[in-house]
Protein backbone atom coordinates (compact mmCIF):
# COMPACT_ATOMS: atom_id res chain seq x y z
CA UNK A 1 0.00 0.00 0.00
CA UNK A 2 1.13 3.55 -0.72
CA UNK A 3 2.48 5.21 2.42
CA UNK A 4 1.04 8.44 3.83
CA UNK A 5 3.52 11.01 5.10
CA UNK A 6 1.83 13.96 6.81
CA UNK A 7 3.39 17.38 6.30
CA UNK A 8 3.05 19.28 9.59
CA UNK A 9 4.10 22.73 8.35
CA UNK A 10 0.60 24.13 8.82
CA UNK A 11 0.53 23.05 12.46
CA UNK A 12 3.74 25.02 12.95
CA UNK A 13 2.21 28.01 11.12
CA UNK A 14 -0.71 28.05 13.56
CA UNK A 15 1.62 27.77 16.55
CA UNK A 16 3.86 30.57 15.32
CA UNK A 17 0.92 32.92 14.71
CA UNK A 18 0.48 33.44 18.46
CA UNK A 19 3.91 32.57 19.79
CA UNK A 20 4.24 30.05 22.57
CA UNK A 21 3.71 26.36 21.96
CA UNK A 22 0.02 25.90 21.19
CA UNK A 23 -0.58 23.67 19.34
CA UNK A 24 2.33 21.57 20.54
CA UNK A 25 4.05 20.52 17.32
CA UNK A 26 5.91 17.59 18.85
CA UNK A 27 2.81 16.14 20.49
CA UNK A 28 0.86 16.59 17.24
CA UNK A 29 3.55 14.69 15.32
CA UNK A 30 3.53 11.86 17.85
CA UNK A 31 -0.27 11.69 17.72
CA UNK A 32 -0.31 11.69 13.90
CA UNK A 33 2.00 8.69 13.99
CA UNK A 34 -0.25 7.03 16.57
CA UNK A 35 -3.30 7.72 14.40
CA UNK A 36 -1.78 5.67 11.58
CA UNK A 37 0.44 7.89 9.43
CA UNK A 38 3.48 6.17 7.92
CA UNK A 39 5.72 9.20 8.16
CA UNK A 40 6.14 12.86 9.06
CA UNK A 41 7.26 15.50 6.57
CA UNK A 42 8.63 18.95 7.32
CA UNK A 43 9.77 21.69 4.96
CA UNK A 44 11.84 24.22 6.92
CA UNK A 45 12.55 27.49 5.14
CA UNK A 46 15.31 29.99 5.91
CA UNK A 47 12.90 32.50 7.50
CA UNK A 48 11.46 29.75 9.76
CA UNK A 49 7.95 31.04 9.11
CA UNK A 50 6.52 27.64 9.99
CA UNK A 51 8.88 24.76 10.82
CA UNK A 52 11.85 25.99 12.83
CA UNK A 53 15.25 24.37 12.60
CA UNK A 54 14.99 23.54 16.29
CA UNK A 55 11.72 21.69 15.54
CA UNK A 56 13.60 19.35 13.23
CA UNK A 57 16.07 18.45 15.94
CA UNK A 58 13.30 17.79 18.47
CA UNK A 59 11.29 15.71 15.99
CA UNK A 60 14.30 13.56 15.21
CA UNK A 61 14.45 12.53 18.88
CA UNK A 62 10.88 11.23 19.09
CA UNK A 63 9.65 10.05 15.68
CA UNK A 64 9.24 6.32 15.18
CA UNK A 65 8.03 6.34 11.55
CA UNK A 66 9.80 7.68 8.48
CA UNK A 67 11.09 11.24 8.76
CA UNK A 68 11.16 13.26 5.54
CA UNK A 69 12.85 16.67 5.37
CA UNK A 70 12.07 18.78 2.30
CA UNK A 71 13.92 21.87 1.14
CA UNK A 72 16.28 23.60 -1.24
CA UNK A 73 19.81 22.24 -0.86
CA UNK A 74 21.34 25.46 -2.19
CA UNK A 75 20.89 26.73 1.39
CA UNK A 76 23.98 25.61 3.31
CA UNK A 77 22.05 25.69 6.60
CA UNK A 78 19.55 23.22 5.14
CA UNK A 79 22.26 20.81 4.05
CA UNK A 80 23.83 20.87 7.52
CA UNK A 81 20.41 20.37 9.13
CA UNK A 82 19.77 17.25 7.06
CA UNK A 83 23.19 15.73 7.66
CA UNK A 84 23.06 16.45 11.40
CA UNK A 85 19.60 14.89 11.81
CA UNK A 86 19.86 11.91 9.44
CA UNK A 87 16.21 11.65 8.28
CA UNK A 88 14.93 8.60 6.48
CA UNK A 89 14.57 10.72 3.35
CA UNK A 90 15.50 14.16 2.10
CA UNK A 91 13.34 15.61 -0.68
CA UNK A 92 15.10 18.27 -2.73
CA UNK A 93 12.83 21.11 -3.89
CA UNK A 94 13.92 24.05 -6.08
CA UNK A 95 11.96 26.74 -4.24
CA UNK A 96 13.11 30.21 -3.25
CA UNK A 97 12.91 32.08 0.04
CA UNK A 98 10.06 34.30 -1.19
CA UNK A 99 7.77 31.50 -2.36
CA UNK A 100 4.60 30.82 -0.37
CA UNK A 101 4.76 27.18 -1.47
CA UNK A 102 6.64 25.04 -3.97
CA UNK A 103 5.53 25.63 -7.55
CA UNK A 104 7.78 23.65 -9.88
CA UNK A 105 10.04 20.65 -10.19
CA UNK A 106 13.75 20.57 -10.91
CA UNK A 107 15.12 21.04 -14.39
CA UNK A 108 17.18 17.88 -14.08
CA UNK A 109 19.01 18.55 -17.34
CA UNK A 110 20.12 22.10 -16.59
CA UNK A 111 21.03 21.30 -12.97
CA UNK A 112 22.38 17.80 -13.56
CA UNK A 113 25.90 18.33 -12.25
CA UNK A 114 24.75 20.19 -9.15
CA UNK A 115 22.13 17.54 -8.33
CA UNK A 116 24.61 14.70 -8.83
CA UNK A 117 27.01 16.28 -6.33
CA UNK A 118 24.48 17.08 -3.61
CA UNK A 119 22.66 13.76 -3.98
CA UNK A 120 25.95 11.92 -3.70
CA UNK A 121 26.67 13.78 -0.47
CA UNK A 122 23.34 12.83 1.13
CA UNK A 123 23.53 9.23 -0.03
CA UNK A 124 27.04 8.91 1.40
CA UNK A 125 25.44 9.63 4.78
CA UNK A 126 22.91 6.84 4.33
CA UNK A 127 19.98 9.17 3.57
CA UNK A 128 17.46 8.22 0.88
CA UNK A 129 17.04 11.02 -1.66
CA UNK A 130 13.97 12.10 -3.60
CA UNK A 131 13.80 15.05 -5.98
CA UNK A 132 10.76 17.13 -6.91
CA UNK A 133 9.97 16.86 -10.64
CA UNK A 134 7.22 17.77 -13.07
CA UNK A 135 5.58 14.92 -15.03
CA UNK A 136 7.82 15.41 -18.07
CA UNK A 137 9.62 12.43 -19.58
CA UNK A 138 12.86 14.34 -20.19
CA UNK A 139 12.94 15.45 -16.55
CA UNK A 140 12.40 11.86 -15.38
CA UNK A 141 15.25 10.67 -17.60
CA UNK A 142 17.43 13.47 -16.24
CA UNK A 143 16.51 12.48 -12.69
CA UNK A 144 17.87 9.00 -13.30
CA UNK A 145 21.24 10.49 -14.25
CA UNK A 146 21.45 12.43 -10.98
CA UNK A 147 21.67 9.24 -8.92
CA UNK A 148 18.53 9.96 -6.90
CA UNK A 149 16.68 7.06 -5.30
CA UNK A 150 13.22 8.48 -5.95
CA UNK A 151 11.32 11.25 -7.64
CA UNK A 152 8.39 13.15 -6.16
CA UNK A 153 5.84 13.99 -8.84
CA UNK A 154 4.60 17.56 -8.44
CA UNK A 155 0.83 17.13 -8.61
CA UNK A 156 -0.60 20.66 -8.65
CA UNK A 157 -1.52 20.45 -12.35
CA UNK A 158 -3.34 17.17 -11.72
CA UNK A 159 -5.29 18.63 -8.80
CA UNK A 160 -6.36 21.70 -10.78
CA UNK A 161 -7.51 19.72 -13.82
CA UNK A 162 -9.10 16.83 -11.90
CA UNK A 163 -12.58 18.39 -11.45
CA UNK A 164 -12.77 19.18 -15.18
CA UNK A 165 -11.39 16.01 -16.80
CA UNK A 166 -9.71 13.51 -14.50
CA UNK A 167 -8.56 11.25 -17.34
CA UNK A 168 -6.79 14.10 -19.08
CA UNK A 169 -5.41 15.32 -15.75
CA UNK A 170 -3.79 12.00 -14.89
CA UNK A 171 -2.39 11.18 -18.34
CA UNK A 172 1.03 12.89 -18.07
CA UNK A 173 1.52 11.37 -14.62
CA UNK A 174 0.84 7.86 -15.90
CA UNK A 175 3.46 8.33 -18.62
CA UNK A 176 5.93 9.80 -16.15
CA UNK A 177 5.37 6.94 -13.68
CA UNK A 178 5.85 4.31 -16.39
CA UNK A 179 9.14 5.91 -17.38
CA UNK A 180 10.25 6.09 -13.74
CA UNK A 181 9.41 2.42 -13.27
CA UNK A 182 11.39 1.54 -16.40
CA UNK A 183 14.36 3.42 -14.96
CA UNK A 184 13.91 1.82 -11.52
CA UNK A 185 13.24 5.11 -9.78
CA UNK A 186 10.94 5.03 -6.76
CA UNK A 187 7.87 7.25 -7.06
CA UNK A 188 6.51 9.66 -4.47
CA UNK A 189 3.92 12.37 -5.09
CA UNK A 190 2.64 15.52 -3.48
CA UNK A 191 1.02 18.94 -3.73
CA UNK A 192 -2.73 19.63 -3.56
CA UNK A 193 -3.69 15.98 -3.22
CA UNK A 194 -6.85 15.69 -1.10
CA UNK A 195 -9.79 13.44 -0.22
CA UNK A 196 -11.43 14.15 -3.58
CA UNK A 197 -8.56 13.33 -5.94
CA UNK A 198 -6.25 11.05 -3.98
CA UNK A 199 -7.86 7.65 -4.58
CA UNK A 200 -7.97 8.06 -8.35
CA UNK A 201 -4.35 9.22 -8.44
CA UNK A 202 -3.13 6.34 -6.29
CA UNK A 203 -5.08 3.79 -8.31
CA UNK A 204 -3.77 5.07 -11.64
CA UNK A 205 -0.08 5.47 -10.78
CA UNK A 206 1.78 2.14 -10.81
CA UNK A 207 4.18 1.48 -7.92
CA UNK A 208 3.39 4.71 -6.06
CA UNK A 209 5.42 4.42 -2.87
CA UNK A 210 4.45 7.51 -0.88
CA UNK A 211 2.32 10.63 -0.88
CA UNK A 212 3.15 13.67 1.22
CA UNK A 213 0.08 15.70 2.20
CA UNK A 214 -0.12 18.71 4.48
CA UNK A 215 -2.38 21.65 3.71
CA UNK A 216 -5.46 19.68 2.67
CA UNK A 217 -5.16 17.15 5.47
CA UNK A 218 -4.71 19.73 8.22
CA UNK A 219 -7.58 21.79 6.76
CA UNK A 220 -9.84 18.73 6.75
CA UNK A 221 -8.89 18.04 10.35
CA UNK A 222 -10.70 21.25 11.37
CA UNK A 223 -13.95 19.59 10.33
CA UNK A 224 -13.30 15.90 10.91
CA UNK A 225 -10.75 15.87 13.74
CA UNK A 226 -7.09 14.97 13.37
CA UNK A 227 -7.33 11.25 14.16
CA UNK A 228 -10.32 10.67 11.87
CA UNK A 229 -8.73 12.68 9.07
CA UNK A 230 -5.47 10.72 9.10
CA UNK A 231 -7.49 7.53 8.87
CA UNK A 232 -9.69 8.93 6.08
CA UNK A 233 -6.59 9.66 4.01
CA UNK A 234 -5.14 6.24 4.74
CA UNK A 235 -8.34 4.64 3.46
CA UNK A 236 -7.99 6.47 0.15
CA UNK A 237 -4.67 4.69 -0.39
CA UNK A 238 -5.88 1.12 0.16
> Would you list the domain boundaries of the chain?
3-236
Question: What is the CATH code for 3-236?
Answer: 3.20.20.70
Kindly name the residue from 66, 70, 152, 210 that is annotated as catalytic: 70
Kindly name the residue from 66, 152, 191, 210 that is annotated as catalytic: 191
Residue 66 CA to residue 170 CA, distance in Å, equals 27
215 carries an active-site annotation: no
Per-residue pLDDT of the chain (238 residues; tens, 9 = 90+): 899 999 999 999 999 999 999 999 999 999 999 999 999 999 999 889 999 999 999 999 999 999 999 999 988 999 999 999 999 999 999 976 554 555 579 999 999 999 999 999 999 999 999 999 999 999 999 999 999 999 999 999 999 999 999 999 999 999 999 999 999 999 999 999 999 999 999 999 999 999 999 999 999 999 999 999 999 999 999 8
210 carries an active-site annotation: no
- DSSP assigned state of 20: T
191 carries an active-site annotation: yes
Full-model pTM: 0.95
Amino acid sequence: MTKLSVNINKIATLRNSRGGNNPNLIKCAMDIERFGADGITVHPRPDERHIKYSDVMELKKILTTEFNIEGNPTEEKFVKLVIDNQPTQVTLVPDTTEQITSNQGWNTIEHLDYLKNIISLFKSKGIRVSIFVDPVIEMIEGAKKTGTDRIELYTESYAKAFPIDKKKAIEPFIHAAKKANELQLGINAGHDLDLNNLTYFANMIPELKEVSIGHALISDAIYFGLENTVQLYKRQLK
